Chain A
Amino acid sequence: MIIHTPTTEAQACAVVKSVVENAVPLTLRGGGTRAGLGRPPQVASTLSSAGLTGITLYEPAEMVIAARAGTPLETVQETLAERGQMLPFEPMDHRPLFGSDGTPTIGAVAACNVSGPRRINAGAARDSLIGVRLVNGRGEMVKSGGRVMKNVTGLDLVKLVCGSYGTLGFLTEVTFRVLPKPAETATLQWRGLSDAQGVALLSKALGSPFEPMAAAHLPAGLGGEEALTLLRLENFPDSLRYRSGELALLLGEYGVPDNLEGEPMAALWRHIRDAAFFAGTQEAVWRLSVKPTDSPRAASAIAQMLPGARWFYDWGGGLVWLAAPAGSDAGSAAIRAALKPLGGHATLVRAPDAIRAAVAVFQPLSEPLIRVTVGIKKSFDPAGIFEPGRMYAGI
C-alpha cells in the first residue's frame, strides 16, 4: 500500500505523471470519512490531500472562501463562523452512517457534492462551488471557474468535477460562495401525519412565500413514537415569528404545530442531515432522488417488496433515505423496479463491499449517456488512473 502525500501542486502533478508511466491506478483520499461512497476501490495506491491544507482566500464582504483540498471542513466552517458566515448547503457528515473516523475535508465535500437539508432551498454543494484547481490524468494543473460567483467564461468544468468522486482528477484547491448565518432558527413540528399527509404539508409550505429552509418528514419510529413533520425557518427574529405564525395558519388542516428550538432542534436536524437514524446497523442504505409528490408512493412500493425497510424524507419529499436488510443485492432489484415507472434515481450509499462491487451503486445510465460518461472520463484521465470503477464498473 503506497500513500502519496504531496505538499504542493507541483508534487501532485509529478506523482500523477509517474503513476501514469507505471500504470498504477490510484484511489484519492481526503480525510477518509466518506471512503465508503461509490463502488469499492480496486487499487493499492492512494493519493492523499492531507499535505495540502490551509485557507487561501477569505473575503467576507465578497462572500467567498477558498481552501486547499485537504483543509478540514471544520476549519473552513470555524473560519466562516468567526465572521458570522457559513457554507450555504449544510454538508452532511458521513461518519455516523459509515462508522468511519477521521476528519472530513473540504475537497471531498466538493468531489462528492455533499449537501444536506438546506439543499432544497439554498442549492447543493455544486451550486456554491465556484472554482476548482485539479490535477488531471495527464499530470497537468487545470483550473476552472474562479473566485467570483457570476462567471460563464468557457465550459463549466467545476460542475463536472463536483460529484465525480475523484474519477476525473485530484482536487488541490476549491472555492465556495458563502452566505451569512441566519440571525435565528426555529422549527415547526407536526405530529402523527401519514407519509402522504406529511409530504403534502411540506409541498404546500415550500409553495408558500414563507421560505422554509429545510423540510423533512420522519415516519413513526425514527424521531420518536409518532411521525414528525418538520419545517425549519431561518431569518431575523421578527420575520421568524411572523412566518411561523403564517405557516401555522396556512397549514391549519394538519393540526397545531409545536415549536422546536435550541439544541434538541439542532440535534434532530443533524440526525436528518447525516441519516444517523441508520447509524450502527447492518442495513443497506439508499438515497432516492424523486419528484417530491411521488416519494410516498415510491417508499410504499419498495416496502411491499422489501419487508423491514425503514425510511424518511428530506428536501420536501424529494430525497428519501431508505434502509433495508442488506440481503444479497441490498434491495437493488426492488428499488430500481419501484422507481422505474416514477422516474428519479437511487444511489446505494452503504452496503458491504461485495454487494457494492456486484450491483450498480449509481443509477444505470442510458446507452448514449454511458458513451458521454466514458468520453468525459477519458478526456480528463486517458490512462484511467483515478478511481477506476468507483462510479461505474469498467469506467
Chain B
Amino acid sequence: MSAIAFPAPDAGILARRDAIIAGLARLVPPQALITSDDERRPYETDALTAYRRMPLAVVLPETTREVAAVLRYCLEQGVPVIPRGSGTSLAGGAIPQEDAVVIGVSKMNRILEIDYANRVARVEAGVTNLAVTGAVSAEGFFYAPDPSSQLACSIGGNIGMNSGGAHCLKYGVTTNNVLGVTMVMLDGEVVEIGGAHLDAPGYDLLGLINGSEGQLGIVTEATVRILRAAEGARPVLFGFPTSEQAGAAVAAIIGAGIIPVAMEFMDKPAIEICEAFAKAGYPMDVEALLIIEVEGSDAEMDAQLARIVAIAREHGVTTVKESKSAMEAAAIWKGRKSAFGATGRIADYICMDGTIPTGQLPYVLKRMDEIVKGYGLRVANVFHAGDGNLHPLILYNCNDPVEAQKAEDAGMDILKLCVEVGGCLTGEHGVGIEKRDLMTVQFNEADLAQQMRVRAVFDARWLLNPAKVFPLEGRIAA
C-alpha cells in the first residue's frame, strides 16, 4: 500500500549520515543515540503500521537541555526532526522519513510534582497518560483525558494530538486539561508557557500547541490539571433494536439536561468482536449498544440512572444491564477500550476518526455501511455518541494489496462524508500523514494558508515533522 506520498529524501543529508551521527554523538550520552538497523527498526512506524520509513537516527534524550542541543544542531544541519512520544499514533503522526532524526521523549518519564491543593501535576513529556492517574489515584484524583491507548501513550503525544477519550463529554480533551508546558523551539530556545495558574497571558499559545502534531516545537514538560474523582462511577449497558433508536435516546438524554460522564456507542459487529474478546456480558440480541456511565454517590447514581432509563424506554430500549460490581464495571470498559485490539485479532483494520453533528448519525451510519459494502468490505462501529466522534473500523486483509487499497479508499470516502454533513476529518487522532491529503476537503486555500503562516513562525524551513498535516503541494514557508 503506497497511496500516501512522502517527500523525497534529501540525498545530501543521506550522504552526510555519518557526520550527522558524529555530531549528535557529541550532544547526548552514547545510550541516548540509536543508529544500528536493528535498534532503529521499532521507530520506523507507529500504530499506522501500513507505512514505514527507516529514520536516519533516533535520539532519546533524558533532559530538556539535550532536546535543545539536538534541535539546534538539526536546524544548523537542515535535518528534519520527527518528535515521538510512545509511537501509538493511529494517523501516522510519528512515522519518520529516511532523512530525519527521530527525537523520542520516552526516557523523560518522571512525575516532577503533584500539588493536590492546587489540583495540578507537573510531569515530563514521556510519562504515560495512565501513569499520571496512577500517581494520584491513591488520593482519589485522576487525569481526565483517557484515550484507549492510555496505558502506552505519552502526555507529550497527547498534547501533540490534543487527545480525547471516552470521558471527555464531561471533562474535556487534552487542551482543556493542560495549564502549562515547557517547550523547546527549533532553534533550541526553551520557553515556558502557562503554569499552575489559569489562562496564560498573551495569545493562547497553549491552545495552539495542543494538537499541533509536533510541528511547532518539542514539549518536554507539562503542567496538567488533576481532578478529584467522583465518589463512584457505574457504566450501564443499554441495548436497542436499531441504531436510530440509540441515537435518538442520546439526543433525548442531552435534551433532558443530563450530561453523563460518557456515552459510548457500538454496533452489532463491534459488539460481537468485543464480547468475544472481553466477555463483558454485552447483549448479543441487539443492533446497537450504548454504554452510559453515571457517577456520584450510590443514591445519586440511582437517581440519574432512573432518569436515563426512563428516557431509554421511551426510545425502545430492550436491554438495560447495570454493572453490579467493580469487576463487572471494569469488564464493560475493557470491552469498549479493547475494541481496536480485539478487532485486530480477527482481521486487519483501519480506524477512522471523523466527527459529525450527532443529528446526522442515522444518515451517516447508513451511508457508511453502503460505502464500505460498495468496496466489498465489512465495518464495525464504535464511537463517542455524546460528541459525534466516530470510529468506524474497516476490516480487511493486509496481505491483499487490492483489498488494502480498497479499505483506505473506503476510509477516505467516510471522512469526506463526515465533512459533507458538517463535521470534520479527525476528532481526536490527528491528521498525521493519514488525512493530510484530505485537508483541502475541509479547508479552502485561505484557511490552510493562514494555518501554514502561523506554523512558519515556529519553523520557516519545514523541518519539524514536515510530511504531516499539510498537503505536500503549495506549502507556505513564511
List A residues at the B interface (Cβ < 8 Å). Answer: 59-64, 84, 113, 115, 119-120, 123-124, 126-127, 136, 140-144, 146-160, 162-164, 168, 179-183, 200, 203, 206-209, 236, 238-239, 242, 289-293, 315, 318-319, 343-345, 347, 362-363, 365-366, 368-369, 372-373, 375-376, 379-380, 391-392
Contact = CB atoms under 8 A, between A and B. Distances in A.
Interface stretch (B236-244, B267-275, B355-363, B402-410): B355-363
Given A59-B357, A151-B427, A369 B191 contact: yes
By CB atoms of chain B within 10 A, which of A290, A369, A380 has the most?
A369
By CB atoms of chain B within 10 A, which of A144, A156, A380 has the most?
A156
A279 B274 CA distance: 60
A143 to B, nearest CB: 5
B439 interface: yes
Contact of A148 (B173, B357, B431, B444): B357
A315 B198 contact: yes
12 contacts: A60-B255, A61-B255, A123-B176, A144-B447, A148-B422, A152-B426, A156-B175, A289-B197, A291-B118, A365-B201, A375-B458, A380-B450
A376 B189 contact: no
A112 B383 CA distance: 34
B208 interface: yes
A339 to B, nearest CB: 10
A152 B201 contact: no
A209 B230 contact: yes
Given A146-B423, A150-B173, 9 more contacts: A64-B357, A147-B422, A153-B439, A158-B207, A159-B207, A208-B228, A209-B140, A343-B197, A369-B202
A156 B251 CA distance: 27
Contacts of A84: 257
A347 B389 CA distance: 37
B449 to A, nearest CB: 8
A149 B387 contact: yes
A373 B191 CA distance: 13
Contacts of B203: 160, 163-164, 168, 372-373, 376
A59 B357 CA distance: 9
Interface of B: 115-120, 140-141, 161-162, 164, 168, 172-173, 175-176, 185, 189, 191-193, 195-208, 210-212, 228-231, 251-252, 254-259, 296-297, 299-300, 303-304, 355-359, 384, 387-389, 422-431, 435, 439, 442-444, 446-451, 453-458, 469
Contacts, number: 253
A155 B454 contact: yes
A140 B469 CA distance: 22
Contacts of A62: 251, 254, 357-359, 388
A189 to B, nearest CB: 22
Contacts of B255: 60-61
B355 A151 contact: yes
By CB atoms of chain A within 10 A, which of B140, B231, B450 has the most?
B450
A315 B118 CA distance: 11
A159 B175 contact: yes
Contacts of B201: 289, 345, 347, 362-363, 365
- Nearest 6 CB-CB pairings of A with B: A159-B207, A375-B457, A180-B257, A150-B427, A61-B251, A379-B453
Contacts of A203: 117-118
A345 B198 CA distance: 9
Contacts of B356: 148
B228 A209 contact: yes
A127 B176 contact: yes
A124 B208 contact: no
A238 B176 contact: no
B424 A345 contact: no
A153 B197 contact: no
A142 B449 CA distance: 9
Given A124-B199, A126-B204, A203-B117, A153 B424 contact: yes
A375 B359 CA distance: 40
Nearest to A317: B118
Given A150-B355, A242-B297, A373 B202 contact: yes
A183 B208 contact: no
B447 A143 contact: yes
Contacts of A208: 228
A244 to B, nearest CB: 13
Contact of A142 (B231, B303, B446): B446
Contacts of B387: 148-150
A140 to B, nearest CB: 4
A287 to B, nearest CB: 9
A207 B228 contact: yes
A136 B162 CA distance: 25
Nearest to A289: B197
Contact of B431 (A154, A163, A207): A154
Given A62-B357, A148-B356, A292-B117, A157 B257 contact: no
Contact of A152 (B189, B191, B251, B428): B428
A123 B208 contact: no
Nearest to A207: B228
A37 to B, nearest CB: 13
Contacts of A147: 357, 422-423
B260 to A, nearest CB: 12
Nearest to B201: A363
Contacts of A142: 446-447, 450
Nearest to B443: A154
Given A59-B359, A123-B176, A149-B387, A391 B451 contact: no
B426 A153 contact: yes
B359 A153 contact: no
A239 B198 contact: no
Given A150-B164, A368-B189, A345 B451 contact: no
Nearest to A120: B198
Contacts of A209: 140, 228-231, 296
